[in-house]
Structure 1
Amino acid sequence: MKRTGDTKQSAKKAGEVCVRGRPREFDTATVLASASQVFWNRGYHATSIDDLCKATGVLRGSLYGVFGDKHGILLAALDHYAEGSVARLAERLNAPVPPEEALRNALMHYARVACALTGERSCFITNTTLEMQSGDEEVRARVAAIHRRMATLLAASVIRGQASGAFNSTLDEKAVGAFLLCVMQGLRVLGRVAHEEDALVGVVDVAMRALV
């Protein structure tokens, strides 16, 4: 006899099959990583479904079956990319060094990456923000949520710096978090023009002095 819990679990699995149709024949994370690269390199509007099929190795019907349409693939790709981006920012800000050093290193990372990238790549999130129309509420909401997560991590870094005496204790950490997010985004955009790291070091130094 099946236990009640087993029956409920089986029903849940059956429901998933009914909603999703046949089981996925690909690894979602791998597909979204490939899709992110295509959108990142080409932009949303210049990317076709055929481009995505070729890059991911997944048939059009399977992509549509999981993500709905090209716009749905973009939203899922943004979510996937953001998870890695936010996690890496958190790791840098929480590095086992003084908080002011960790913050400066994090900002310099974005300067270095921006200078190293060529053409229109910049940051996937930044590129998408600049390309998509303001009326695309779903993309706007996704990007806004990503930015909130990053600003929260930056604000926490400021609090740690204030606790250690490195940063001005009277600063509002939320306002500073938003300021540092603007600096990060600015570095990403400026890096598309100034491809030398030294050109952006001054920006990072001014940002750091503003916290003292």
Structure 2
Amino acid sequence: MARLAEFDRSDVLNKAMEVFWRTGYTATSITDLVRATNLKPGSLYGAFNSKRSLFLEVIDNYANRSLTRISECMEQSDSAVESITHFFSQLCQDIECDTIGKGCLMVNTLLEMATEDDEIRTKVTEYLSSIEHYFYLRLEQARLQGEIEADADCDSLAKMLMTGIWGLRVMSTTRPDITIYSGITSYLLSALPVVKR
């Protein structure tokens, strides 16, 4: 059994995440993970039991970190509409920094494994639903505060924004001209029924 104190678990998860993110779950081998983490196979198995167990922990780690970041981003302004706009601005910056077209780990995983592994599909779906719920809450706040129309369907609007995120993330794997992202984002945000002041 590996002595877990010999390495930083968080560091190992981050290194493993990068491999899974670039390569995908199925194509990632134990050899790839050993090379990336600098752990011996026995230590890797001793700490995480299997490639699948390691991947599940990577997903949890990624989700917790991302949801914290999204929550902080959404709370940067008292204006719900401004918060959503800021989120999409940050998303475009993240995509522009993705010079190798990795896309989104969660979206990639869902597309790869939706029909292969119920537990992984459930974890990823719950993560994406949490993001959608952030949008719903902010849109409902915007509706109640008069930023968007009083009869706005916040649930459908939140789903529309999530569809946009999916599209942007999948598109980013083809690495189109970066100006395309800001154009799509502008159209997405223009669909919000903002009350003119």
Number of residue pairs matched? Answer: 192
Residue 102 of structure 1 aligns with an amino acid whose one-letter code is S
Matched, 1:154 2:127: no
2:170 to 186, 189, 206: 189
Deviation at 1:114, TM superposition (A): 2.0
C-alpha contact (below 8 Å) 2:2/2:47 kept by paired residues: no
1:110 to 85, 91, 101: 91
Percent pairwise identity: 28
Where has structure 1 moved over 6 Å in runs of 4 or more?
Answer: none
Matched, 1:167 2:173: no
Structure showing greater Rg: 1
Rounded to whole Å, the distance in 2 between the matches of 1:200 and 1:120 is 13
Residue 24 of structure 1 aligns with an amino acid whose one-letter code is L
2:188 is aligned to 207
1:18 is aligned to none
- 1:87-139 deviations in whole A, cap 9, x for unaligned? 11111111035221210121122223223323441111122222225121121
Deviation at 1:155, TM superposition (A): 0.9
Moved more, 199-208 or 181-190: 199-208
1:49-64 equivalences under 5 Å are 49-64=30-45
C-alpha contact (below 8 Å) 2:34/2:40 kept by paired residues: yes
**What is the CA RMSD across the aligned residues, in angstroms?**
2.0
2:61 is aligned to 80
- 1:159-200 deviations in whole A, cap 9, x for unaligned? 222233221222232332222111111111122335333212
C-alpha contact (below 8 Å) 2:21/2:105 kept by paired residues: yes
Show structure 1 runs of 5+ residues with no match.
Answer: 1-20
1:135 to 116, 122, 141: 116
Q: Secondary structure at the match of 1:167?
A: coil
Residue 44 of structure 2 aligns with an amino acid whose one-letter code is L
1:24 is aligned to 4
Show structure 2 runs of 5+ residues with no match.
Answer: none
Q: When the two structures are superposed, what TM-score results if normalisation uses the length of structure 2?
A: 0.87
